[in-house]
Chains A and B, each alone.
Chain A
Amino acid sequence: GNSVTQMEGPVTLSEEAFLTINCTYTATGYPSLFWYVQYPGEGLQLLLKATKADDKGSNKGFEATYRKETTSFHLEKGSVQVSDSAVYFCALSGYSSASKIIFGSGTRLSIRP
């Protein structure tokens, strides 16, 4: 079945450091891929998405590229800020309307000033 594996946290970086959070997936067909962010005490917000191979999703300085050959969708940001501290979830969807979005286990990111 479909599954998502993302790097375990917590990840701690200094402000202005480069960020990579790895995400790989297993799926049949051509799923859509997502990154969600959860700030403390809140629900999840869609950060970015990509719906086909080689698409790049981007938002708020974050980017991720849909790599079908490596079944990956790594999240990157060139210069992180303290306000980026949150939990990040990689997710994928199936290809039918009855399918559900499957989430990874989440990676907690902490940014030091």
Chain B
Amino acid sequence: GAGVSQSPSNKVTEKGKDVELRCDPISGHTALYWYRQSLGQGLEFLIYFQGNSAPDKSGLPSDRFSAERTGGSVSTLTIQRTQQEDSAVYLCASRGFLDTQYFGPGTRLTVL
């Protein structure tokens, strides 16, 4: 069956530009997560969606970050006015039985 997909796989952008990252969860999974993986910080939890709702956005690194989910399926993570410290791999996961999270391949973001 299809796993979690993410697009684009790589994104190179200039400082100050906005970027949008997309996640397609496993069909039927109602819970979706975003994480950031960077050399200095390891794997950080960013935000969780149950259906279309994100009850707690405090894990987002700054107010330049936002996320939404529509139709209980696709989610987008948007970073406005990108900074070099935003360079990282952004991973999406959807949750199945017994709280098991299944991860996508990630989007590698490079901010020049």
Are chains A and B native binding partners rather than an unrelated pairing?
no
